[in-house]
Amino acid sequence: MSSRIEILNDGGYRSDGRRQYELRSIDIDMSPQGTADGCAVVSHGLTQVQVCVFGPREARKRAETLHDRAVLNVEVGVLPFSAGERRRRGRADRRILELAASIKSTFEPVIQTSLYPRSQIDIFVSVLAQDGGLLQACINATSVALASAGIALGDLVCAVSGGVHGTFPLLDLSALEEGDLPNVTVAITPRSGKVTLVTLETRLHVDRFGEVFARACEAGRVIHTEMRRAVRARTSKLVDAMGAGTKGTGEEDVERDVLMSEINDF
Amino acid sequence: MASVSLSKAEKSFIQTSLQATPPLRADGRALLDYRTVLLETGVASQANGSAKLNVGKAPLEGGGGTEVLAATKLEVEDVENGDGLDGGRIVCAVTCSPSAYPHLSSNALDEVQYDLTMILHQTISHQTLHPKNLGILPKKKSWLLNLDVVVFADAGNVLDAIFMAARAALWDTKVPRTRAIQYQAKKAGSGTGSGDMDVDSGNEPGHGLSGFDTRDMARTAADFELPDYWDEGEVLDGRDRWPVCVTLNVLPSHHYLDATTPEEASTPLKLHLAFSFPTDQPCHLQALRLLGPGELQLPQLKTLIADGEKYAKELFTALESKLRDEDLRRNVKARDKFASR
């Protein structure tokens, strides 16, 4: 079935009508869920991920804590009805553990863990719907959720997936494209211009890698502006809700943030 | 269910205020009031039916409340070689997100999950509720209906929420239409012909069956196909039968509904009652469970069940009207939706 669908047709359109470098629509919802300290539901097209952040708080087991920094605990749950075919994955499933490990290693250098010694930060990821770009959605949602929990971050981490069709790089792959193309997921911190994650599960020609990588880094910056817009909208709404007395200072804060980001922008 | 640590003083404070005249609750509700219930169907794009339910969310996009997502997914099962049952079967599972119980270890979470799964599965997959249209080919193929319920947040009364969400998801479920197919030699072989006759005595033995006559095909057909049709299929049978659950929290003198987590922790006895209200039939009590260290006299239990039926009926009627509203909302033609924009 998939062999008959053209990944990129002669007119330069992909199977879902996007252009080569076009991202799927991004939706970021930061409204609180349950008792979580920070929460975000991020969807990239039909892929939807919800992340709840608890902490920094006292660890359940005292032995797990570190005396000079916070410990990250990432748990991923994939809902059985999120994919086309129903499949139950336990908590100890390999793919899930791998996903959790890559989220953890992505955020360990970004979260300023030394500010929260002897504490634990729990990140609970639930995958609501998957249509390609799962790791990318998980990382973006985690970034926003951490920000909404008020945890000190060096920067928002922005991830995007890329693939190569023939000699053409494509961005933000859907499940259909992901099955057919060599793909790479790149996570960057746009302010410092650093890359925190690159994963490649399939084979990709070394000459092509550079181009995909550069495009993905550029796309990461686009996602960064989207995230910042969402975080700022949410924050200004909260500041407004706090009442007229604090309104002035709140706006100043937002202004200062704009200036800072302009200085740091590429 | 959720083990919150509550001091003795807090417990007695909650208990005495519940038993005061007039009874007082922290959120100002009366004893028999439910919190606001929010429901939306059709939330999971990859499922055959789904619903998201929240009990007690704070107004103006605040958080909180018990949040539950239920979805059904249909799979084809082989009756002869696989573990399918003739006429289909239903399997329910409850998953608790660790964010619902952040203080529990993963083993304790598994136990909570297992407990909730057992209650839901035993009630929903009972013979008396089995829908008629889960069979595909008799003795060959049938549908397996997987009902998955995910608890995202628990702010008390999680079982009522699970049952409501399950009912909404099952109500929303569409079973794909199937058509039996069979490859036949030009002249029907004597073997299959006589087989037909045994089953259907109305057929004259002399008549060859027309190739267009598919009426009896389902009995002999080897396989099925999914005809291309404009909708996703027909609704799952027995829409009106799926049960609703009410939890009566029993104090020595009286009982109350829809407890929050601290109230749950300070109540000695909980009575879960699941009722089904089929149209044109008297209601059925589908499940009963009594939990907690308190005790109850038999006559008391009888009155509690009678009361529970009354509350369940109210809940059922409200849920039914909401589900009909949702059906209307989702079946608006695209053209009308565009015009109203």
Angle of the B106-124 helix axis to the B158-172 helix axis, nearest 10: 50
Rounded CA-CA distance B139/A36 in Å is 49
CATH code where residue B153 lies: 3.30.230.70
B137 and B44, same domain (yes or no)? yes
Q: Is B3 within the bounds of a domain?
A: no
B185 and B169, same domain (yes or no)? no
Inter-chain contact B98–A75, Cβ cutoff 8 Å?
Answer: yes
What is residue A116's predicted lDDT score, i.e. its pLDDT? 94
Rounded CA-CA distance A14/A19 in Å is 6
Please list every residue in chain A whose beta carbon sits closer than 8 Å to the beta carbon of residue B108: none
Give the pair of three-digit tokens for residue B192.
């299959």
Domain A26-265 listed as CATH 3.30.230.70 = yes
B157 and B193, same domain (yes or no)? no
B35 and B51, same domain (yes or no)? yes
pLDDT tens track for A6-59: 888 888 899 999 999 999 999 999 988 888 999 999 999 999 999 999 989 988
Q: Which chain A residue's Cα is nearest to B67?
A: A34
The total number of residues written for chain B in this structure: 341
Q: Is B86 within the bounds of a domain?
A: yes
The answer to whether residue B152 neighbours chain A at the CB level (below 8 Å) is: yes
- What average pLDDT does the structure give for chain A? 87
Q: Which chain A residue's Cα is nearest to B107?
A: A91
Arithmetic mean of pLDDT, A111-128: 94
What is residue B200's predicted lDDT score, i.e. its pLDDT? 42
Chain B nearest C-alpha distance from A184 (Å): 25
Q: Is B22 within the bounds of a domain?
A: yes
B114 and B256, same domain (yes or no)? yes
- pLDDT in single tens digits along all 341 residues of chain B: 445 678 999 999 999 999 998 899 998 999 999 999 999 999 988 899 999 999 998 877 677 889 999 999 999 998 888 888 888 999 999 999 999 998 888 899 999 999 999 999 999 999 999 999 898 888 888 999 999 999 999 999 999 999 999 999 999 999 998 888 877 665 554 444 444 444 443 444 445 555 565 555 555 677 888 887 766 788 898 888 999 999 999 998 889 999 999 999 999 999 999 999 998 889 999 999 999 998 889 999 999 999 999 999 999 999 999 999 998 888 776 677 777 76
Chain B nearest C-alpha distance from A233 (Å): 14
Chain B nearest C-alpha distance from A263 (Å): 34
Identify whether A80 is preceded by a cis peptide bond (ω within 30 of 0): no
The answer to whether residue B146 neighbours chain A at the CB level (below 8 Å) is: yes
Chain B nearest C-alpha distance from A14 (Å): 22
Q: Are the C-beta atoms of residues A107 and A142 closer than 8 Å to each other?
A: yes
Q: Domain span at residue B221?
A: 177-231
What is residue A257's predicted lDDT score, i.e. its pLDDT? 45
For B278-294, give one letter per residue: b (16+ CB within 10 A) or e.
eeeeeeeebbebbeeee
The complex scores an ipTM of 0.84
- Residue ending a domain, choose from B216, B231, B246: B231
B79 and B143, same domain (yes or no)? yes
Rounded CA-CA distance B199/B258 in Å is 54
What is residue B38's predicted lDDT score, i.e. its pLDDT? 93
Give the pair of three-digit tokens for residue B188.
């029907």
What is the pTM assigned to this prediction? 0.86
- Nearest Cα neighbor of B290 from B274, B311, B275, B277 is B274
Please list every residue in chain A whose beta carbon sits closer than 8 Å to the beta carbon of residue B101: none
- Residue ending a domain, choose from B201, B231, B261: B231
**A-B Cβ pairs (cutoff 8 Å, strict):** 85
B132 and B87, same domain (yes or no)? yes
Q: Is B186 within the bounds of a domain?
A: yes
B151 and B35, same domain (yes or no)? yes
Inter-chain contact B150–A33, Cβ cutoff 8 Å?
Answer: no
B127 and B255, same domain (yes or no)? yes
- Residue ending a domain, choose from B203, B231, B259: B231
Bridge-partner residues for A164, per DSSP?
A169
pLDDT at A250 over 90: no
Inter-chain contact B46–A39, Cβ cutoff 8 Å?
Answer: no
B211 and B326, same domain (yes or no)? no
Q: Is B1 within the bounds of a domain?
A: no
Q: Is B118 left (phi over 0), alpha (psi -120 to 50) or beta?
A: alpha
Amino acid at site A46? L
Percentages helix, strand, coil for chain A (3-state, rounded to 5) are: 40, 25, 35
B218 and B118, same domain (yes or no)? no
| Domains of chain B: total | 2
Rounded CA-CA distance B20/B25 in Å is 10
Rounded CA-CA distance B110/B99 in Å is 14
pLDDT tens track for B166-181: 999 999 999 998 888 8
Inter-chain contact A77–B95, Cβ cutoff 8 Å?
Answer: yes
B83 and B44, same domain (yes or no)? yes
